[in-house]
Structure 1
């Protein structure tokens, strides 16, 4: 089975492209002029991911595009194959653990309107006194649905649920920050295992997806498996890495390595390795609207 190529360079370039899109896609000449001391060719190479310049230039371009400096610096440092500095490894951006292994198993039914997702995490603490892990969960939203979504996060193995904080990311759909309390606190270098289960009610959609974002110090190995019910098998599935929501819902061309075959047992697998902080990886699929009258496309 092919492992999806996810490199720190790709993730940094993806983050810059998202900022570029959010800023209204200014020309590379305009960016170069605003930054100063750099050619538009270099800016173009940064956005395409064919060049990783010095941090000072990434910082200037990120500032011009109104990006988060600390997030960009974390992504840039991953391209240098250098561990995060001790003083910065345990900030508010990333949970103070390293994921040795992450397994996400989703069971999808009702043409994508219902999903039960189990997430198993094998972790190594990167500081002393780690007693919780923050889970981010959001019901699907986006460009091709009607209605609102709901999500509920439950403890599954070796954990309990602590503080639950609602997060407003859209007028439609639930989103939460959930403190998952570990059964036993971990000190730096110690390993632990826990699992959560989330139940989602998504709006009817023409295109659906399930994904994970690395919100800690990185992940050595990730496996996303999506199991479809017998009445909910999409004709096409594909993988995506570090994409905007619009891009992830865009079906790749025939023959692309991103196309994922659906097995005879109605599941798809997406393995990935060596993911830095901030990596976003997932599986998307498209329903057949001609056989799905309940789907609303707009």
Structure 2
């Protein structure tokens, strides 16, 4: 990650940083662990009082997808900036093979059981396990935040390189924090939208993006597509936008553009996962009311921008 600064000197240091920040946030909130657990449960996040106690003491850390989702809800309950706790977590501890080499890795933002039926219905049941022959070389996301603070639109440009002949499509998986709605996917250039499936309960979209022509080994192809939400009001995005990379990407550029009435007081980039220590870095808004961050040779892991 370009220009990042690490919190802690390694996994143990980062784990201590998370525990200390969580403990301070709980103390500052004046809430008991029982009350925090009740509020989590009311928002659909199931975490035991024992787990909360272990997290704040540093004995354990949130690692599973459900626990990581609960941390995002915790940030709201404890009234701390979005990403301020999640960004302190160290990479999940490896189980068996390393995350970089392991096939069939569990997605971080939703469970395999949730995603698998959608993959089956678009004709890609083995997408999580197979060896892919299409490498994502570069990606540029531009996320537009509306005046009400919701997410209006995302425009993405992606460059791929084929590792085998006849590569003709890419499978897009998108999860919306506000599960009440799923965005519409539109092909902008060099591709068209194929089969799509949605899970409105969990706010997940799976779509085929079919290339204008197949590409052979060593060739590259650039596509552009957009995800547009209905509104206003636009779906809540919990003041953050991120990408989960299950495989390394050479370059990732993320832009957030804010409507004049939604310009935040502070912004920062954050990352975690893979072989890197979790990090955060303050960002400055530019003259157009936007902010950006760049990740180089990043992944697997999560890279994003949060704001207040």
Q: TM-score range by the shorter chain?
A: 0.5 to 0.7
Structure 2 unaligned segments of length 5 or more: list them. Answer: 19-46, 62-88, 107-125, 274-278
CA distance in 1: counterparts of 2:226 and 2:90, whole angstroms: 37
CA distance in 2: counterparts of 1:257 and 1:48, whole angstroms: 12
Q: Residue 285 and residue 95 in structure 1: after superposition, are their counterparts in 2 closer, same or farther (change >3 A)?
A: farther
Q: Is the Cα contact below 8 Å between 1:160 and 1:183 reproduced in 2?
A: yes
The question of 1:209 aligning with 2:244 is answered: no
TM-score by length of 2: 0.57
**Aligned with 1:238 (options 257, 268, 276):** 268
Equivalent residue pairs, number: 211
SS of the residue 2:164 aligns to = coil
SS of the residue 2:304 aligns to = strand
**Aligned with 1:97 (options 125, 128, 134):** 134
Q: Is the Cα contact below 8 Å between 2:143 and 2:151 reproduced in 1?
A: no
The CA deviation at 1:2 is 4.8
TM-score by length of 1: 0.58
The CA deviation at 1:230 is 1.4
**Aligned with 1:184 (options 189, 192, 213):** 213
Root-mean-square deviation over aligned CA pairs: 4.0
Q: Is the Cα contact below 8 Å between 1:213 and 1:280 reproduced in 2?
A: yes
Q: Deviations over 1:178-203 (max 9, x none)?
A: 00001111222211110111112443
Task: Tell me the equivalent position of 1:155.
Answer: 187
Task: Tell me the equivalent position of 2:115.
Answer: none
CA distance in 1: counterparts of 2:251 and 2:97, whole angstroms: 33
The CA deviation at 1:92 is 2.2
Structure 1 unaligned segments of length 5 or more: list them. Answer: 32-46, 63-67, 73-90, 142-146, 244-255, 287-298
CA distance in 1: counterparts of 2:156 and 2:132, whole angstroms: 16
Residues 252-267 of structure 1 mapped to structure 2, 5 A cutoff? 257-267=280-290
**Aligned with 1:218 (options 240, 248, 251):** 248
Q: Is the Cα contact below 8 Å between 1:59 and 1:69 reproduced in 2?
A: no
Q: Residue 257 and residue 210 in structure 1: after superposition, are their counterparts in 2 closer, same or farther (change >3 A)?
A: closer
Deviates more, 1:151-160 or 1:187-196: 187-196
Q: Is the Cα contact below 8 Å between 1:137 and 1:177 reproduced in 2?
A: yes
